[in-house]
Structure 1
Amino acid sequence: MIGAEGIANVKWMVEGQWIEYAKEFGAMCFYLEHRFYGNSHPTPDLSVKNLIYLNSQQALADLAYFIQNINIEYKFSNNTKWIVFGGSYGGSLAAWMRIKYPHLVHGAVSTSGPLLAQIDFQEYFVVVANALKDYSQKCVDTIAEAYRELGILLRHVGSQQKIEKKFKLCDPIDPGHTKKLDISNLYETLADNFASIVQYNKDNRQSSQTLNITIENVCDILVDEKIGIPIDRLAYVSNMILNATKEKCLDYRYDKMIRELRNTTWTNEQAEGGRQWMYQTCTEFGFFQTSTAQPNLFSNNFPVNFFVQQCTDIFGPRYNIDLLNSAVTRTNILYGGLNLKVTNVVFVHGSIDPWHVLGITTSSNPQAPAIYIDGTAHCANMYPSSENDMPQLKKARIQIKNLIKEWLKNSYNIHTIV
């Protein structure tokens, strides 16, 4: 299992679909944490001069070095087959691992992995909006009206206090020169509530603090006129998520966010992955989830320039749009974008997961098939199964198992390493 942009949770060593596959094939399991994330601290701090050692190429090389040395340490035979698993960015790494190190990796299950680097990922919120719309058009109409009401209230100093109270803001709204960035951050934070709910809708995450908050829950609240006018319902949803995540108030101040992400110490709260992932998006991938394509729904307050400014404000003036353009171009040349030429890889995506837009969802190559699961969310096939899982999700898990079996069947005396 390939670790991604966070701590390697020990739960993955005892539960999840890959463990079920391992039991069936008699496999040994290893879970490798990504350098610079979680407890993996390869440098004294997270200064920019040290973060140059944080990138996907280095992560893949770490995996190769690990596999090669485990083969020696365990005295594995030449018949040993390594299968790599990963979800989200880890899913990207799984596919790229098979491309870059085919002599070490026999097969890869790439789940919800974005393979196309893209600066302005405006399609993300299109998928979010469509998922909400599929459940209820009135739900989407209410969000649009709530954002319109929010915009009106924000224009008047007298009514800004109402917003502070409704949304439990941690700080009063600053009418000074940073107000525009604060407001952009507020809009993006509120939009992210919907993004998170859609992306992880009913995915069976046992550790999720918002496990029981689904598209249905949120939309039922948004159309309930007894709660109040649309902006009151938007605030209700926001506060419900604050409670679920045990947050006392809504942090929206831009300068505070930047100050936290500038902190280079390992003891900082962001050190588990926030600063590091921001660095990778600014230097390799982009992936900025903008409001560009949905200005009438989530406002036009967080376009791509809002995120590019974060790169320069956090890491320095060198990390600008020119560097981003060249970095994204390089990444797509390096790995092939959506034009991968590879075998023994399966690409798995869910239709309501916005990240599927940057992944392979259809394939004419039987040696690198795509499984597109209608109605499921981000990495849903990786989590522990449930009797309430959709039939198509259950079917996908079986398809993946059969593919792994096919990859392994021609081997003699296999010691499969998952």
Structure 2
Amino acid sequence: MLASWFRLKYPHVAIGALASSAPILYFDDITPQDAYYSVVTKDFREASETCYQTIKDSWSAIDEVASQPDGLLTLSDIFKTCHLLSSSSVLKQYLVSMYARVAQYNSPPKYPVTVVCGAIDGAPPEADILDKVFAGVVAYFPNETCYVNAPRNLSETVVGWAWQVKYFYM
């Protein structure tokens, strides 16, 4: 984004600019504001209709569990969170971010959308919808001791990307 903006503001200084991964058309009603997540949804739906439906249905299932007495504790137990959830939106944002990342980097040799959907669809028949979603989380983040707000070594790149996503996609 900065490369594009710099070129627009200072055309006499910059001969060109490379914006290889920038939402430069995400402004001024050129692109619908939900376009990015429409593509994420399409990726999951193309990978597996049942996976897509499970994820779609999980949002209301999360809210339903959260609304019950000790619901946040129940969700924290199901998703093995690092800390007790303060709200269901914390869990939902974690999942939205994970699904977006999975779709963005869905390429060989790993094909993470297929990995996540394979775990969701391959969960035992007795697993409920949230257990299936958690199976997808574990498939994408194997060997974690806890999820949601897991402490990670954050590089400047990761922190910078998170800051950009927060301000450009919200």
Distance 1:225 1:160 in 2: 23
Mark the CA change 1:157 to 1:200 in structure 2 (over 3 Å): closer, same or farther. same
Partner of residue 67, structure 2:
155
SS in 2 for 1:108: coil
> Which has the larger helix fraction?
2
Within a 5 Å distance, the mapping from 1:21-36 to structure 2 comes to none
Partner of residue 128, structure 1:
40
Distance 1:167 1:157 in 2: 17
Distance 1:153 1:135 in 2: 27
Residue 113 in structure 1 maps to residue 17 in structure 2: no
The runs of 5 or more residues in structure 1 that have no matched partner are: 1-91, 174-178, 205-210, 254-268, 289-418
Question: Is contact 1:168-1:239 (8 Å) kept?
Answer: no
Picking from 2, 6, 9, the partner of 1:100 is: 9
Mark the CA change 1:287 to 1:187 in structure 2 (over 3 Å): closer, same or farther. same
Partner of residue 95, structure 2:
190
Question: Is contact 1:170-1:249 (8 Å) kept?
Answer: yes
Picking from 168, 180, 201, the partner of 2:80 is: 168
Mark the CA change 1:142 to 1:277 in structure 2 (over 3 Å): closer, same or farther. closer
Distance 1:140 1:251 in 2: 21
Partner of residue 272, structure 1:
156
The amino acid of 1:123's aligned partner reads A
Partner of residue 143, structure 1:
55
Distance 2:36 2:161 in 1: 22
Higher relative contact order at CA 8 Å, sep ≥6: structure 1 or structure 2?
Answer: 1
Within a 5 Å distance, the mapping from 1:14-413 to structure 2 comes to 92-115=1-24, 116-117=26-27, 121-158=33-70, 160-173=72-85, 179=86, 182-202=87-107, 212=110, 214-226=112-124, 228-243=127-142, 247-252=144-149, 272=156, 274=159, 278=163, 285-288=167-170
Question: Is contact 2:62-2:88 (8 Å) kept?
Answer: no
Question: Is contact 1:147-1:231 (8 Å) kept?
Answer: no
SS in 2 for 1:138: helix
The runs of 5 or more residues in structure 2 that have no matched partner are: none
Distance 1:286 1:98 in 2: 19
TM-score scaled by structure 2?
0.73
Partner of residue 84, structure 1:
none
1:168 to partner: Cα distance:
0.8
Question: Is contact 1:95-1:108 (8 Å) kept?
Answer: yes
TM-score scaled by structure 1?
0.34
> Which has the larger strand fraction?
1
RMSD between superposed Cα atoms in Å:
3.4
Distance 1:122 1:224 in 2: 29
1:142 to partner: Cα distance:
1.2
Distance 1:277 1:218 in 2: 22
Mark the CA change 1:237 to 1:281 in structure 2 (over 3 Å): closer, same or farther. closer
Distance 2:68 2:27 in 1: 40
Larger Rg: 1
SS in 2 for 1:110: coil
Question: Is contact 2:123-2:135 (8 Å) kept?
Answer: no
1:190 to partner: Cα distance:
1.2
Distance 2:70 2:101 in 1: 32
SS in 1 for 2:19: strand
The amino acid of 1:145's aligned partner reads D
1:131-160 superposed Cα distances (whole Å, 9 cap, x missing partner): 211222222111122333322222222554
Distance 2:161 2:54 in 1: 36
Question: Is contact 1:186-1:252 (8 Å) kept?
Answer: no
Mark the CA change 1:103 to 1:114 in structure 2 (over 3 Å): closer, same or farther. same
Mark the CA change 1:201 to 1:159 in structure 2 (over 3 Å): closer, same or farther. same
The amino acid of 1:216's aligned partner reads T
